[in-house]
Structure 1
Amino acid sequence: MTNRRQFLKTAGLTAAAAAPAMLAAPHVKAQALIRWRLQTYAGPALAEHVIKPAIDSFNKIAEGQMEIELYTADQLVPTGELFRAMQAGTIDAVQSDDDSMNSPVDIKVFGGYFPFASRYSLDVPTLFHQYGLNEIWDEAYSEVGVKWLSAGAWDPCNFATNKPLKSLEDLKGLRIFTFPTAGQFLNRFGVVPVTLPWEDVQVAMQTGEIDGIAWSGITEDYTVGWADVTKYFLTNNISGAWCGSFFANADRWNEVPDNLKELFKLTMDSSHYYRQHWYWGGEAKLRVEGTKLELTTIPDEEWKTVEAEALKFWDEIAATSPRAAKVVEILKKYRETMEKAGPPYRYS
């Protein structure tokens, strides 16, 4: 604005001495192209589905006004440093879950796979839009100088291993690549959580550094190549849908004109919608038609003990902060509502 005022002041002095015909020619100031760097948690093959189509669409529609450069997992900064890099302005925006990018907020544990918080992918947007999580997330991130933009659902969290899992006893001692909070919970059943760069997971399976993966459903196992290095897929899951969000550096978001903000909101909705049907259809189709992974199941009665333990875990998390307690209260209310509603919302 300072440069613009100085220009207008100088232009006014010049115009006063100019011929009358010159006054009829208006000055048009060109809008500089806004460039963002956005990094996703997803590797290249997965990003082709979970974000690239939406960003390509945004860039096409915003031609001449804004362009978003998309980077995949660990390409600019390690996933665990995404939040700090965005907060500092090293990158402008992020698509990730709160948990794996190590957000310094008390609700970060609910991102990614919070045990049994959801049964189906539609649970996630319902919790955010109808049960108050939108406001809670916005409040938490406003306190740390980052603009939380929108949350959506991904796939469920299942095990893919080289050992068949048919009872809880089979989990003991397994070195599993998974998310921080999911790993903290699974440790109660003897699982040894392992943290690795996303791009190293496939090689770690081949070398025996890890015994399995609890990072996704079967769609991603096939898409990213993990089905090529594992033999078994456990149909039981600890969460029906991963919860991830879009975030932006607050200052950079405030610089974006309102029309482009609205366009980006539509872009996020487009991304959320694509994942809803891509994962929902993919999970079923690959269980039925997939040829690379043998399905195994832990009996329902035994798996219910895992779900019961999750509710104890919820209470422990609720004790960590008043805001975390509020989220757990919402999750419990939602769970109660779905169970009372019965099929198709919940099956006993």
Structure 2
Amino acid sequence: MSDSKITKRDFIRNAGLAAAGTVGAATLSTPYVVRAQTPIRWRMQTYAGPALAEHVIKPAIDAFNKAANGEMVIELYTSDQLVPQGELFRAVQQGTIDAAQSDDDSMASPVDVAVFGAYFPFASRYSLDVPALWHWYGLKEIWEEAYGEVEGVTWLSAGAWDPCNFATTKPIRSLDDLNGLRVFTFPTGGRFLSRFGVVPVTLPWEDIEVAIQTGEIDGIAWCGATETHTVGWADVTKYYLTNNISGAWAGSFFANTERWEAVPDHLKTIFQLAMDSSHYYRQHWYWWGEAHYRTTGGKLELTTIPESEWKRVEDEAMVFWDEIAATSERNARVVQILKNYAETMRKAGAPYRYA
């Protein structure tokens, strides 16, 4: 045994040299190479025009792009920018675009439950009714079932938007005033309103304001007060009917199935959080706006059809529900859920429903 002593300084120096040699050997045998990964790129189109998209979708997509940290980028396009709204479903299915935010109804989804998207008459009273129906009353599973039968498109998530009120150039104070009224509206909502003489009109989003100004249409039955003021339609109409045919628009996110399945799970989770963020933002934005524009910030004169007269519209909606229920077994299940939900809300009383 050697009599030499190893000092603390020698031990540290020798250990450092050994470690450096190990790292050097590893570096020489398996060099580390930094490779730039090409991000996943999606094109997504919303049903909303530019001013509305700033609220209903853009903040969520901006947040997703930031959180994805360069691994995925979603390019957002507004209504009709890449494809017409009525061709939106097919565009996602064919891979022309990768994803969409829309109601099932106006994007012409080829599923029986599409009639319940957008404004199914009197299906909701408040915006919270929509997520409650999807998450706690079984509509989520029914939508997954329906879209599971369609190749190429994956339904991702549903949420609530604003109520459906009339904003018009002519005052509406009775049901008779609806007769002959030409309005921009959604397919199923228009189909129902035609029972009271309303003439539904379909036009590209960007043409609505000019169509009102030229008298081609008399107004809209497309949204509530918040949207009417945000997109500029309050500048070309005069009256706002406080009665509505639905308390909240129901819309969803959709993706091309092949593109969705190619997304890594952690990015899918981030996208789900982005959708939830979008749903939450709309809940408080519309809730604030509907009251604000009716009271302190509105440009339109408010009109109301008396409750006793409006009850005819509500009663007719129940007839319409039964007609839709007869079209398919799945639609019958949805209508029964809506009936059960409405009865539960009535039994619960205030604040769920007021007598």
Q: How does 1:1-348 map to 2 (within 5 A)?
A: 22-25=28-31, 30-145=36-151, 146-348=153-355
Q: TM-score, normalised by structure 2?
A: 0.91
2: distance between equivalents of 1:131 and 1:313? 21
3-state SS of 1:69 partner: strand
Shift of 1:31: 3.4
2: distance between equivalents of 1:109 and 1:91? 23
Shift of 1:333: 0.5
Shift of 1:244: 0.3
* Structure 2: runs of 5+ lacking an equivalent: 1-24
Shift of 1:304: 1.1
1: distance between equivalents of 2:219 and 2:162? 17
2: distance between equivalents of 1:179 and 1:51? 20
Question: How big is each residue's C-alpha offset from its partner over 1:185-220, in whole Å with a ceiling of 9 and x where there is no partner?
Answer: 000000011110111000000000001100000101
Q: 1:291 to 1:150 in 2, by over 3 A?
A: closer
Q: 1:292 to 1:23 in 2, by over 3 A?
A: same
Name the % identity: 75
1: distance between equivalents of 2:237 and 2:35? 58
Question: How big is each residue's C-alpha offset from its partner over 1:73-120, in whole Å with a ceiling of 9 and x where there is no partner?
Answer: 000000000000000000000000000000000000000000000000
3-state SS of 2:112 partner: coil
Shift of 1:63: 2.0
Task: Give 2:287's aligned amino acid.
Answer: W
Q: TM-score, normalised by structure 1?
A: 0.93
Larger Rg: 2
Task: Give 1:208's aligned amino acid.
Answer: G
3-state SS of 1:149 partner: strand
Shift of 1:307: 0.6
2: distance between equivalents of 1:281 and 1:304? 27
Task: Give 1:104's aligned amino acid.
Answer: P
* Structure 1: runs of 5+ lacking an equivalent: 1-18
2: distance between equivalents of 1:64 and 1:79? 30
Shift of 1:289: 1.0
2: distance between equivalents of 1:222 and 1:21? 64
Shift of 1:22: 4.1
Paired residue total: 330
2: distance between equivalents of 1:129 and 1:23? 54
1: distance between equivalents of 2:97 and 2:56? 19
Question: How big is each residue's C-alpha offset from its partner over 1:2-61, in whole Å with a ceiling of 9 and x where there is no partner?
Answer: xxxxxxxxxxxxxxxxx9864332566653200000000000000000000010011111
2: distance between equivalents of 1:20 and 1:188? 79
2: distance between equivalents of 1:46 and 1:93? 18
Q: What is aligned with 1:5? A: none
CA RMSD of aligned residues (A): 1.2
